[in-house]
Each structure stands twice: as structure tokens, then as C-alpha cells.
Chains A and B, each alone.
Chain A
Amino acid sequence: MTDVLVVAELLDGKMRKTTLSAITLAKKIADGTGGKFDVLSIGAGAKAAAAELATYGARKVFATEVAGGYIAEKFAPTVADLATKGAYGVVTATASTYGKDLMPRVGARLSAGVASDVSDVSTEGGKLVYKRPMYAGNVFGYVEVTTKVQVVSARQSEFEAAAPAGAASPIEDVAAVTDAAASRVEFMGLESVKSARPELAEASVVVSGGRALKSAENFKTVLEPLVDAMGAAMGASRAACDAGYVPNDLQVGQTGKVVAPKLYVAVGISGAIQHLAGMKGSKVIVAINKDKEAPIAQVADYFLVGDLFTVIPQLTEEVKKAKAAH
């Protein structure tokens, strides 16, 4: 019987949807071992966010108000303290940059082993075995954590978002635990690019551009109309990000975001190993490239050979037509 504590991710006083993947992992462990799962809402606006978090079937939702922006040094002591007091077997969050930043700190504080960015968990024989993509997704490792408490982060694209379930969970306030390290770090701001498009990690269609787009201007005038015609999120290869065509938070790949949409369209992306690691879990992959030998062909389902500056405007029109007709 393993009880699980889920650390929610908040932004602007609201639950981020990323949290729902960690809840799915927690449910899977709780159901597989006959345990329960609780959720910790922590940060600015934690109490308000707790009300929403209480709709996902947790035994209990804890709320810890921490004023100001997110700082790991302020959050980790509270998470670790609650994990110990509640005798949880697993503490988890989603492996967004938030979870990746916070959870190892929690692990070290608990002297616990950490399984990060896991894509699955099995509970055979009472043992929890986590599946982890390694080597840019070229190997899966199956790992057990041997410490009393296990710290785990869940790969968002591999755990479906939990759906609301049953009656609202009771909410309990928990006081923040402080630590000296927090006095030496100051939150100065978060500069976000606001976009009306779906979030990259959550979109069912992703259209990504590579260096072949040649400029920031072309991303806007050539690629964006297609992105919007498809109702997609926009992504990019590392090369395009490095060249400064688009901000780095659009990067899809081993060290950027991992996505697994229903449809992934790679425009002018050759398909470096690091990029494939971030998108090869997509259900259907379309490559548009002038080089039919490009490595993206190894993972693509459909390949259109052609000059993107000719093909993309045509495709945009065809998609609009097709959508209008149905």
C-alpha cells in the first residue's frame, strides 16, 4: 500500500494543467497498491487553487500559501516536511521545468532516490518499477527506487491529464516550512510570451519549423498562418531557436519540450537525434523537406518533398478549404 503526495504546479494563482499528469501517475500507483493520493497546492494563491485541485479525487488537498514567485528553496522544505509527516511512499510532480527544478531538491532533503521524467510505472509484486527514456529516448530503463520514500517526476506527454472525479476532497491548510537557503535567493520576475495558441505540451496538433525557415520574419509570415489554420501549437527545432528565429520555450527536443500530439508537422527540420527525442511519440508525423534523405524520414508517416516556401502557403489554403468543407 503506497500513499502518494502530488505537488501541484501553480501559475498566477491557478493550477497549471501540467499537474494533471502527475495526478494520473499518482492514481496509477495508488490504485495498483491499494493506497491513496493527496495533493499539495503550494505558492501564491494556493488556497484558491486548492478548490480546483479538490475536484480530481484526492483523499485530501493541502494548501500552503507562499507569497511571491516560485523559488525552489521556499517550496522544497515544505514538501519534504509534509512528505515525512504523511509517511508517503512516493512524492511526485510533473517533469515540467518546475518539477525538474523542485523535485530533486526535495529528494536530497529526504535522502531519497529520484526517478525523473518517467514515462510509465508498473506495480507488479508490490514493487514500483518506473520506465524512463534515456539517451535522448533511444533506450528505456526500468528503475526501482530503493529508499523508503521515492521521489518521481512524470513526463507530461506520457500521462494523460486526469479527469475530474467524484466529490470534492477536503482542504487542509499547512504552514510553510522555511530554510536558510531561501534568504539568499530573490525572485525578480517572470517574462512570459502570451500566446492565444494552445500550449505546446498540451496541443493535439503541433507545427514546428526548422532552420530552413531562414528568419524570424518567415516564421511569422510563412509558418504561423499554417499553425493557425490547423489550430495548432507552434514548435521549433533547436537550430531555429539557437538562430534566434523564435524564443527557446518553443523548442521541441531532448532538452526542450517533449510532445506527443495526434499530429506533428515538421517543416524544414532535418531530424537530428535531439529533435526526434522530443516528438517521435507523436501519433502521426508529417515531414515537409526538400531533402528526401533527411533523417526525419525515419520517423515520418508522410513525407512531402518540396520547397517549404512554395508548399506551406498551398498547404495553408488546402487546410482552410478542408476545414471549411467539414
Chain B
Amino acid sequence: MKILVPIKRVADPDNANKIKVAADGQKVTSDGLEWKLNPFDEYAVESALRLNENAKTSEKLGETIVVSIGNKDVGQTMRQALAMGADRGVLVAAEDDQLDSLVVARALKAIVDQEKPDLVLMGKQAVDGDSNTAGQMLAEMLGWPMATFAATIATTDGGKSFVVGREVDTGVLTLKVTGPCVITVDLRIVTPTAVKNGVTPADHPYADGARYASLKGIMAAKKKPIAETDLKTLAVEATPATKYSKFELPPARKGGAVFVASVEELVQKLRTEAKVL
């Protein structure tokens, strides 16, 4: 099947505590931090590749297209997804201040209208803005059904539908969604048996996590096409509906843990000092 995977680059999430705010509070700066593929998007690429391959024979069953919106440096991040095995990329040029989830969803809709994929598979949230909104908005704009926070995906009805296990607060909620549809993925989608496409043997030993790009993959990615377009060409209304007026760092917790020497001392402090026991 044809799968479209929207991806975003984010400042290294493992060093998110090194994010700074400009002195005037107008800007978040991630100077000195590496750009990484948003982890959930990396997992979406991995699950798209699993859906689109017979892992036993290495036969390819469909096309996986990655799309990203932002300045041209995003192309580097896109090469990472191409090196994992995605077939081609679409880069929508835009300035960051033109973008919020509404504009992003509109731009993605324009790409979906052009590419007509059977499935849009994306991360549940980008770990910079932490909004968790673009996938749901895209689905609504397309008039498509969706399944968010997917921990498992199994194709059914000859690949036309998907049985999706969604991780929700109260447990696992299972939906059957008929394509074309939007699925957003959660962390467990990359566990060894989370994605079943009815072709790869169910007991195929997938590694836990997203695949690493092989050297061959990295070389091949250099030659894979990335088509470039922009918001204007796509006739996307590029007016964000949200406006950040200020950013600030959270107040530090009064640092310096008190080290206690024994269980007795801990319990006594919790009772008499913190008064929480």
C-alpha cells in the first residue's frame, strides 16, 4: 500500500533540559543541541516499513513516502528516514513562524490530496511543542477516520482495514478502521510483534525499536528523490491560529536533595518535616 509518513525534526529530546529561552522571552533556542528525527515519527517510519515489506523475503509491498514541513535543513533529517528504507520525500518549505498545528494539518492535507495514500501514519506528538494535535486535525480535514496512540496495528480485509490497539488512560481500546485513514503511533508500536501485515510471518523476529540505517541504506538514501514545494504553491492558508507571546523556563525546584541515612530517618522526615505521611 501507499503510506505517507509526516516527519518533523526536533532538538535532541534527551537534552531537553538544555533548551534556553532568549532574554526577551520571545524565542526558544536550542543552540548547541543536535537535531533529531522526532522519536514518534521515527517509530511511524518503522511501522510503515513493517507494513510495506515481507520481512522474510525482503520483498517490498508498497511505497513509503516521508513528508516534512520547515526550512531546507529538514532535508537532512528526511535523509535519515530514507536511509531506514522510505522510498522518497516531499519537503514543504516554510518558516517556523508560519506554522502551527492547524497550518501543518492544512499543508499535509494538500500533500495527501496530491499523493492519495492509502494510509497516513505519523507520530502521536512532536516532543518539542508536545501538542499532540496534527494527526487528529488532518483526519478531520480529510473527512477520514483515525486511530490515535496506536500500540498495535494489524491489517485485515485484504489490507483495506486496520485493527488498531490504542493505548488509552483506561487500558487498551481496539478500533477497526477502514482506509484511507490516519493512524498516530505510540511507543510500543516498535515492539517485535506490534505490526502485522498478513504477509510477514507472525513470528518474524523483529528487533525491539526502530531499525538502524545500514551503510547501504545510507548510500541509497543519497540518491532517493526529495521533491520540494512550498505553502504558497500548495495554496495553504499560512496564518497560524495560535500566537505565542512569551516563553519562560520553569522555576527550578529548590535544588539539593536531602540525603537521609536510613529508612527510619526517611519515614520520620516524611511525617514531621514534610508532613505527607
Contact = CB atoms under 8 A, between A and B. Distances in A.
Interface of A: 11, 18, 69-73, 76, 96-98, 100-109, 111-117, 129, 132-147, 179-182, 184-193, 201, 205, 230, 238, 241-242, 247-249, 254-255, 257, 262-263, 272-274, 276, 280, 283-287, 292, 297-305, 311, 314-315, 318-319, 322-323, 326
Nearest to A116: B131
B270 A305 contact: no
Nearest to A283: B276
A304 B136 contact: no
B87 to A, nearest CB: 26
A270 to B, nearest CB: 12
Interface SS of chain A: helix, strand, loop or mixed? Answer: mixed
A138 B19 contact: yes
Q: Closest 9 CB pairs between A and B?
A: A113-B241, A104-B136, A108-B140, A192-B171, A104-B133, A108-B137, A185-B145, A300-B257, A303-B257
Contacts of A319: 267, 277
A186 B143 contact: no
Contacts of A104: 101, 132-137, 140
Interface string B261-277: 01110110111001011
Contacts of B258: 301-303
B101 A248 contact: no
Contact of B169 (A117, A188, A201, A274): A201
Interface stretch (B51-59, B181-189, B215-223): B181-189
Given A104-B101, A139-B21, A186 B175 contact: yes
Given A73-B145, A262-B276, A305 B170 contact: no
Which of A111, A115, A138, A318 counts the most B-chain CB atoms under 10 A from its CB?
A138
B276 A108 contact: no
Contact of B175 (A142, A185, A286, A287): A185
B16 A138 contact: yes
20 contacts: A11-B170, A97-B166, A102-B136, A104-B133, A134-B28, A139-B249, A139-B250, A140-B250, A141-B244, A147-B241, A181-B139, A181-B145, A182-B145, A185-B147, A191-B171, A249-B170, A273-B14, A276-B17, A322-B267, A326-B271
Given A192-B170, A300-B257, A315-B266, A142 B187 contact: no
Contacts of B21: 139
Nearest to B103: A113
B102 A107 contact: yes
B17 A273 contact: yes
B130 A263 contact: no
Given A72-B146, A114-B101, A249-B169, A298 B260 contact: no
B241 A112 contact: yes
A102 B169 CA distance: 14
Contacts of A283: 276
A323 B169 CA distance: 31
Contacts of B176: 185-186, 188
A94 B127 CA distance: 20
A108 B264 contact: no
B242 A318 contact: no
A139 B28 contact: yes
B143 A318 contact: no
Given A185-B178, A302-B269, A311-B263, A97 B249 contact: no
Contacts of B197: none
Given A205-B276, A303-B258, A314-B263, 7 more contacts: A111-B241, A138-B250, A188-B163, A188-B176, A190-B168, A248-B188, A322-B277
